[in-house]
Chain A
């Protein structure tokens, strides 16, 4: 914790100035609701939107909070799958076991939660749960939800990095 804080402070003093690396991979957060035990279809948490508003040049509170949330999704991606070759900018081996006809590769995920408990999944699991929950409660109050992290790369099949367990939409009160 202290080491992470010191590392972040050091980065503030010595920034890398290396913006927009290469966009060879872009993580995406998907969510689905579970109503009466029935799992709905996966959908992206952030719907594809665009704006014609010039106002955001002067004030962009909603856009900037969404960008911050996506920063946490990026960090979670690194936390959940640090060994992921795509995160290291390596090209996928042509002889990989991916089913090329399948839009999604499930090779990295064997079970919801990847067999780990939420506490084992680290701080970013908690943050992602909060992000999803806040965006769900704004629209609906179903029984449960589930989220997954998907890695997308242009021209390549999507890859599921992590699938959460079923979680209550309403935050549990203690």
Chain B
């Protein structure tokens, strides 16, 4: 079974659009707090207005991604992606780095891939290049993260997982997850499950269709668990948006 490129692109647009809309809504809900963290000479009130305008534009652009371009807007599709890409660059400059962490980085890569694919009108090979770009970043993101954990003693022993789940650690935890930190062996087991999954993820490119779906389901479950336990909800949409491209490469 294979996924048609236009279906893969449409699914990517939809998932990414939801992710960008969600982020814009969250930033708008906490724009004053975000404005205090903007780097620049202007006072926070100025940055609050700047952020409001920027997020409303992103919300509008993401709405088009969700609804779909249709035949009328398809001609200017690259302009939408360029708008979101430039807007992302502006946010990175203002916050001195990706303000949504890794999810911003993946969202950006998916936008680049969609931009390349949207130029497929000129040359159909660009659709494959765009989807390939997205799939490559998806696979690399898991694999590199897995290798980095494997090379780190604290991850191999479970200490990093324990610190992550500690009550006074860096995240606001889902209450039942706090108990997991009590058992170092359980934390080590969880660490190894993550390491094995992340390092094995590139297999998704050669597995049969059912195997691909199984591995991507595990990936989705992994991100949903992270959202529940650690509150990293934006990662769900950013990574899910890469899955249609991964499925396309069968």
Bound together:
yes
Residues of chain A touching chain B, judged by Cβ–Cβ distance below 8 Å, are: 4-5, 8-9, 11-13, 15-24, 26, 28, 44, 48-52, 54, 56-72, 75, 123, 127, 130-131, 134, 152, 154
Within 8 A of A (CB), among B81-105: 88-89, 92-93, 95-102, 104-105
CB-CB under 8 A from A9, the residues of chain B are 89, 92-93
Indicate whether B148 reaches chain A with its CB closer than 8 angstroms. yes
Contacts A9-B93, A56-B231 given; does A23 touch B159 at CB 8 Å: yes
Q: Interface size (B, Cβ < 8 Å)? A: 66
Contacts A8-B93, A59-B22, A127-B36 given; does A50 touch B231 at CB 8 Å: no
B97 x A8 contact (CB < 8 A): yes
A17 x B141 contact (CB < 8 A): yes
Nearest chain A residue, comparing its CB with the CB of B164: A23
Interface string of B223-250 (1 = CB under 8 A from A): 0100110011110100000000000000
B172 x A51 contact (CB < 8 A): yes
CB-CB under 8 A from A71, the residues of chain B are 97, 99, 101
Cross-interface CB contact of A50 among B95, B104, B174, cutoff 8 Å: B174
Expressed in whole angstroms, the Cα–Cα distance for A52 and B177 within the complex equals 10
* Sample (15) of A-B pairs whose CB atoms are under 8 Å apart: A9-B93, A20-B149, A23-B163, A48-B167, A56-B228, A56-B231, A58-B233, A59-B26, A59-B233, A61-B29, A62-B30, A64-B231, A71-B101, A75-B97, A127-B39
A65 x B30 contact (CB < 8 A): yes
Indicate whether B64 reaches chain A with its CB closer than 8 angstroms. no
Contacts A15-B105, A48-B168, A57-B227 given; does A22 touch B37 at CB 8 Å: no
8 nearest A-B residue pairs (beta carbon): A63-B231, A15-B105, A23-B163, A61-B26, A61-B29, A17-B144, A50-B175, A17-B141
Q: How far is the CB of A11 from chain B (nearest CB, A)?
A: 7
CB-CB under 8 A from B168, the residues of chain A are 28, 44, 48, 152
CB-CB under 8 A from A63, the residues of chain B are 172, 231, 233
A26 x B163 contact (CB < 8 A): yes
Q: How far is the CB of A134 from chain B (nearest CB, A)?
A: 6
CB-CB under 8 A from B98, the residues of chain A are 8, 11-12
B96 x A57 contact (CB < 8 A): no
B92 x A26 contact (CB < 8 A): no
CB-CB under 8 A from A64, the residues of chain B are 26, 30, 100, 231, 233-234
Expressed in whole angstroms, the Cα–Cα distance for A18 and B143 within the complex equals 9
Cross-interface CB contact of B227 among A20, A50, A56, A62, cutoff 8 Å: A56
CB-CB under 8 A from A154, the residues of chain B are 159, 162-163
B92 x A12 contact (CB < 8 A): yes
Interface string of B152-165 (1 = CB under 8 A from A): 11110001101110
A52 x B174 contact (CB < 8 A): yes
CB-CB under 8 A from A51, the residues of chain B are 172-175, 231
Indicate whether B145 reaches chain A with its CB closer than 8 angstroms. yes
Indicate whether B70 reaches chain A with its CB closer than 8 angstroms. no
CB-CB under 8 A from A67, the residues of chain B are 101, 171, 231-232
